[in-house]
A and B are shown apart, each in its own frame.
Chain A
Amino acid sequence: MNAAKHNPSSLKRIFRRGIFYSFLIALLPAMDILAGVLVAPPVVFMSEKGKAGRITVQNPTNAPKEITISLSFGLPESDSLGNVNIFLNDSTVTDPRSCLEWVKAFPRRLIIPANGSQVVRFVAKPPKNLPDGEYWARVVIEAQEGVAGIPMLEADDRITTKLNMVMRTAIALKYRTGDLVASLEMTGAETRIVDSKVEAMLDFTNKGNCSYVGVLACRLLDANNKEVSTFDLHLAVYRQLRRRIELPIVEGEFQAPYRVEVTVTNRGRKDIPPEEMIYGNDITQTLAVES
């Protein structure tokens, strides 16, 4: 047996090498998750006590990324069918709850090298005598490859095309001042059976002076109080919002008539730090399902 192979310094070297390769192996499962530009946190909170905010933009790819930071205004809005969308608007915004005019981002254009990251800061300069409440904007992080997107001509007599894919992530920015009240009211509810599912149309109105951010949970129960199906989603109500919920009537020994138990609470959100949550009222209501 070779004594040098097993002396303590060799073992240390083997051990260090083992650590190195283990880290490489450990990174493999993370590769899929780290495929795009990452922005954290998903919501920027600012207040009269802390007029500065920050996000970290990370480029986990092996190519430099050109990043543009801009501010827009857009709230979750719904149509009459309960479809929700966010339409961003960055000019002629007259909403009194917009902080677009007095929040600035630094820097607004940057190139993040491969596997690099950059902190982007926000500074608020709110007008004097701003009424109590929450003021909103969306931070739009636009990323594209850090090289020009002009296609290379393969031959002098050909027409070639190149569509540059630009990726934008919009995260919420909230500036808070004074006393904040989170209050939500369910102003309307309709249920009906469509094919093999129960459709519930729920109308919410925000009665507070800040966005109501919580969890909407629905349970479909049969005549014997047996749970047929459930549905839950993260809810953000800024003013009015209509949500369409579909609960499948799964196969089983369930008996009509059905009921939908609706619960709304702003406890239990794990994606927002508890110290940033404005806790308000809970709603619990049971709706009979019309056949």
Chain B
Amino acid sequence: MCLAIPALVKSVTGQEAEVEVGGVGRRISIALTPEVKVGDYVLLHTGYSINVIDAGEAEETLKLLRELAEESA
């Protein structure tokens, strides 16, 4: 129910955006994330972007995962 999936923002018009999810285009509301820019990934939940994905933090988490894996190898 609280499912949200990453969607790539292709264009922004007012409170709406065109996004791509797994190669499929969709029109969504960005009323909850007015700061969205083209090229951002957002978390898409029931037709609304509920947050912008932080690319830097995503990279940091992957780095942490690899470090933890290294340590246990």
Chains A and B bind each other: no
Which residue numbers of B lie inside 8 Å of A, CB to CB?
none
Which residue numbers of A lie inside 8 Å of B, CB to CB?
none
